[in-house]
Amino acid sequence: MPEKITRTLEQWRRQLTPEQYRIAREARTEPAFTGEYCETRTDGTYTCVCCGQALFESGSKFDSGSGWPSFSKPADEHNVDAEVDRSHGMVRTEVRCSRCDAHLGHRFDDGPRPGGRRYCINSASLKLVEKPDADGTT
């Protein structure tokens, strides 16, 4: 299990942009089709914007048409926690970074087979670490 990272709200505010803080620390959602990674096709690893933990690989990213980056599975099941979210008059499964508890987005059971899961993630909660090309450049 990864070591937990805890910071004060003020420390998070100093580290993150206002949008990143609002989404990752206050569990808000960015508007559909506005996130930096919604249409990205770059190879690499999507890490937590707060703590840098690997969350999703580009190979599991797919176009769900939802307006948010969507992934079929986490990079490692231990890196993403799931809990029931009853906000906004709905019952959904919220996903958070297991290391720092950052809000990432939600998980749905309408994804591609074989797993059938769709991790609908806010771009503002992510940082893409590009995979180097064969010559070592990104």
Query: What is the set of active-site residues?
Result: 120
Q: How far apart, in whole angstroms, are the C-alpha atoms of residue 61 and residue 50?
A: 21
Among 103, 87, 22, 6, residue whose Cα is nearest residue 95: 103
Task: Look up residue 53 and give its two tokens.
Answer: 């933990």
Question: Residue 67: how many CB atoms within 10 A of its CB?
Answer: 14
Q: Is the dihedral of CA 112, 118, 123, 128 positive or negative?
A: negative
Residue 18 phi/psi, 5-degree rounding, is -55, -40
